[in-house]
């Protein structure tokens, strides 16, 4: 990890940063048929209590965040492309107080809007903090594609969905996600 966690603004349980973290990214424009397998992945994360790290910015990422927040103990780290606003604590009081949600940002509270530059910085931070990635869909040549081609990220494991459109991810060495627990084939978590 290149980022010093002491230099970040946080709200919530900082101990979540010590957990193994899976970064969840999805391009903004995605084929609708990826929603079901993406939710199967999210079900497995919730069942196993795996920490999910994301900006939760795209539509699908936001749906997955709402789903994950329904779990009793689902560790979640949301990295913001802006500063932590005063209303954030009120909006997410229950999961923050329960210690299962952490907001992280490199930006001071005065940064109130997400721009392309702040989104790029947020995505770099997510990638840096992550131990592995789940990317159900990537737009070739898009922001996420460019992010994953950075040298310091090339050795982190990537899971994706088995779609012809995800060939760029497979070319980077991604493995195809196969739902096991969510379909009752994997038994209990190890």
Those residues whose C-beta lies under 8 Å from the C-beta of residue 25, and which sit 6 or more positions away, are 54, 55, 61, 123, 126, 133, 134, 135, 138, 144, 147
Strands 51-54 and 76-79: parallel
H-only helix segments in 10-115: 35-48, 59-69, 86-91, 93-97
pLDDT in tens, 144-166: 888 887 776 778 899 999 988 88
- Domains in the chain: ranges and CATH: 5-113+121-182 (3.40.50.450)
**Global pTM value:** 0.90
Could you read off the pLDDT of 2-54 as tens digits, one per residue? 677 788 999 999 999 999 999 999 998 999 999 999 999 999 999 999 999 99
**Pair 44, 21: CB distance under 8 Å:** no
Q: H-helix or E-strand containing 117? A: helix 116-129
């Amino acid at each position: 990890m290149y980022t010093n966690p002491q230099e970040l603004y946080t709200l919530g349980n900082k101990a979540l940063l010590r957990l193994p973290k899976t970064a969840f990214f999805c391009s903004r424009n995605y084929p609708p048929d990826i929603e079901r397998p993406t939710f199967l992945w999210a079900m497995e994360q919730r069942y196993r209590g795996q920490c999910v790290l994301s900006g939760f910015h795209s539509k699908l990422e936001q749906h997955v965040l709402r789903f994950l927040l329904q779990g009793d103990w689902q560790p979640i780290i949301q990295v913001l492309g802006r500063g932590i606003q005063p209303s954030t604590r009120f909006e997410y009081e229950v999961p923050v107080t329960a210690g299962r949600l952490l907001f992280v940002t490199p930006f001071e509270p005065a940064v109130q809007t997400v721009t392309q530059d702040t989104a790029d910085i947020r995505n770099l931070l997510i990638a840096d903090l992550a131990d592995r990635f789940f990317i159900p869909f990537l737009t070739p040549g898009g922001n996420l594609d460019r992010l994953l081609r950075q040298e310091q990220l090339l050795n982190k494991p990537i899971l994706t969905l088995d779609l012809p459109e995800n060939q760029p991810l497979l070319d980077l060495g991604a493995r195809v996600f196969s739902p096991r627990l969510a379909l009752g084939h994997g038994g209990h978590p190890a």
